[in-house]
């Protein structure tokens, strides 16, 4: 699977010994300048860390001379604040030295937005073009109800419109940003997904030797639809006895498992903890169905990975999901909160190997065409070229 960025979250990639592959972006940057990328620590859980790891593993940091600055790490409030202050200091030093030619910030909601927006504002003071890359599926809710009220909304609008480019994950998010901050310059770039060279076959799935396996990977919480999944499982297990529900993630673990116990389905659940690397590869190869009944999403990497591994998917058409797949062609959709519909869709897949195989093959082809790491890197290189060109015009 994807290798981690680095064991040292403050390690600079700008002076790495790996030769830089010539590219149009490299030619547009001055010989002594580089891309400064902002994001979470390489050992963090979640979508941004996975996306950045994919980009680095796919060669972006070699195509464009890159310095990765970590703005956030796991730990208490003190550790998080200390890391941000170090990142702010490091960014200021690099900008003052005149070595930064472009800044690319991977941004979520709440603290992630505040941290990255401050560094981006600093970069603009030094005349450096900036790319604001929006990942959060709950950003609209944050903008509407987050701490700060009118001041927050003014600062979000200011940050969007002052950025050289705002990257969004889907056309729907592009429409939202355009409505919120009309002067924003927007580019749509989907998330990358690791794609195994050969799609795992049906012989390796659990259903080849007995009852099948449904897999969930991600944060365990109400917005992700985890409790809806438990309630749907009560009905589904009567229609597909023996099937297992494998759950990998972190968050409300104790509450989730207690609810499963209360509903009488705890015995059907294999709780995996947070899954990554070889463990994730193994789980995706053996799963028959992947489920994500979420209420809010940006562009869920977990769904893209499941599609890339040839796993039939049941999910909700929220956020960037409609840009990723068409219903009944690349996967099955249910409305957020539709417990009965989720149980029916799971039963449809459990009862038909032909349906699972058809969706799996079409889903993998879709991801290979639009969301492979190589395809996403090429789109980002185009974004960098546009950002540098626009800055020169000003």
Residue 159's CATH number: 3.40.50.2000
The answer to whether residues 236 and 333 belong to one domain is yes
The answer to whether residues 356 and 212 belong to one domain is yes
CA distances (Å), 314 to each of 292, 305, 362, in order?
A: 6, 13, 14
Q: What is the pLDDT of residue 200?
A: 86
Distance in angstroms (rounded) separating the CA atoms of residues 39 and 116: 8
Q: What are phi and psi of 68, to 5 degrees?
A: -95, 120
Residue 239 belongs to some domain of the structure: yes
Residues 6+ apart with CB under 8 A from 326: none
The answer to whether residues 34 and 107 belong to one domain is yes
Q: Report how far Cα 333 is from the mean position of its chain's Cα atoms.
A: 20
Q: What single DSSP character describes residue 251? A: B
Residue 4 belongs to some domain of the structure: no
Which tokens go with 33?
């300048």
The answer to whether residues 350 and 380 belong to one domain is no
Long-range CB contacts (within 8 A, 24+) of 173-181: 173/134, 173/298, 173/319, 173/320, 176/140, 177/134, 180/143, 180/156, 181/156, 181/157
Residue 13 belongs to some domain of the structure: no
The answer to whether residues 120 and 231 belong to one domain is no
Q: How many domains does the chain contain in total?
A: 2
Q: What single DSSP character describes residue 330? A: T
SS3 category, 50 = helix
Closest CA to 301 of 388, 219, 180: 219
The answer to whether residues 271 and 178 belong to one domain is no
H-run or E-run covering 202: none
CB 136 within 8 A of CB 112: yes
Q: What is the pLDDT of residue 26?
A: 62
User: DSSP of 261-294, one letter per residue?
Assistant: HHHT-GGGEEEEES--HHHHHHHHHH-SEEEE--
Distance in angstroms (rounded) separating the CA atoms of residues 157 and 144: 12
CB 304 within 8 A of CB 193: yes
Residues 6+ apart with CB under 8 A from 281: 1, 196
Residue 9 belongs to some domain of the structure: no
The answer to whether residues 207 and 77 belong to one domain is no
Residue 12 belongs to some domain of the structure: no
Q: What is the pLDDT of residue 4?
A: 29
Distance in angstroms (rounded) separating the CA atoms of residues 219 and 248: 8
Q: What is the pLDDT of residue 154?
A: 97
The answer to whether residues 144 and 274 belong to one domain is no
The answer to whether residues 258 and 345 belong to one domain is yes
Residue 11 belongs to some domain of the structure: no
Domain that holds residue 51: 24-192+372-393
The answer to whether residues 274 and 362 belong to one domain is yes
Q: What is the pLDDT of residue 14?
A: 36
The answer to whether residues 319 and 217 belong to one domain is yes
Residue 10 belongs to some domain of the structure: no
Q: What is the pLDDT of residue 35?
A: 96
CB 232 within 8 A of CB 339: yes
Distance in angstroms (rounded) separating the CA atoms of residues 8 and 79: 15
The answer to whether residues 298 and 329 belong to one domain is yes
Residue 113 belongs to some domain of the structure: yes
Q: How high is the mean pLDDT in each 10-residue block of the chain (394 residues)?
A: 32 36 62 89 80 92 93 89 96 95 96 96 97 93 93 98 96 95 96 87 91 96 97 97 97 97 98 93 97 93 95 95 95 98 98 96 93 93 93 72
């Amino acid at each position: 699977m994807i290798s981690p960025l680095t064991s040292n979250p403050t390690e600079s990639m700008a002076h790495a010994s790996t030769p830089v592959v010539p590219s149009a972006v490299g030619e547009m940057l001055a010989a002594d300048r580089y891309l400064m990328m902002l994001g979470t620590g390489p050992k963090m859980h979640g979508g941004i860390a996975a996306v950045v790891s994919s980009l680095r593993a796919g060669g972006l940091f070699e195509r464009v001379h890159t310095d990765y600055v970590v703005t956030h790490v796991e730990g208490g409030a003190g550790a998080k604040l200390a890391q941000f202050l170090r990142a702010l200091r490091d960014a200021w030093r690099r900008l003052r030295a005149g070595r930064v030619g472009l800044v690319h910030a991977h941004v979520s909601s709440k603290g992630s937005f505040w941290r990255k927006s401050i560094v981006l504002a600093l970069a603009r003071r030094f005349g450096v073009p900036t790319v604001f890359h929006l990942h959060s599926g709950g950003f609209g809710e944050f903008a509407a109800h987050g701490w700060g009220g009118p001041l927050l909304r003014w600062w979000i609008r200011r940050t969007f419109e002052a950025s050289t480019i705002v990257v969004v994950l889907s056309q729907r998010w592009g429409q939202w940003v355009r409505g919120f901050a009309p002067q924003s310059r927007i580019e749509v770039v989907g998330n990358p997904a690791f794609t195994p060279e050969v799609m795992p076959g049906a012989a390796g799935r659990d259903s080849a030797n007995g009852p099948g396996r449904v897999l969930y990977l991600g944060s365990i919480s109400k917005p992700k639809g985890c409790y809806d999944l438990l309630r749907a499982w009560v009905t589904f297990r009567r229609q597909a006895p023996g099937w297992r529900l494998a759950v990998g993630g972190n968050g409300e673990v104790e509450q989730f498992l207690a609810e499963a116990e209360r509903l009488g389905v705890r015995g059907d659940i294999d709780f995996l903890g947070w899954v990554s690397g070889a463990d994730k590869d193994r789980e995706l190869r053996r799963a028959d169905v992947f489920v994500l009944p979420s209420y809010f999403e940006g562009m869920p990497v977990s769904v893209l990975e499941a599609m890339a591994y040839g796993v039939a998917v049941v999910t909700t058409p929220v956020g960037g999901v409609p840009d990723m797949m068409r219903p009944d062609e690349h996967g099955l959709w249910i409305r957020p909160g539709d417990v009965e519909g989720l149980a029916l869709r799971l039963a449809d897949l459990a009862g038909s190997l032909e349906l699972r195989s058809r969706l799996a093959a079409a889903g993998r082809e879709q991801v290979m065409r639009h969301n492979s790491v190589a395809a996403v890197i090429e789109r980002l290189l185009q974004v960098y070229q546009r950002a540098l060109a626009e800055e020169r015009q000003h």
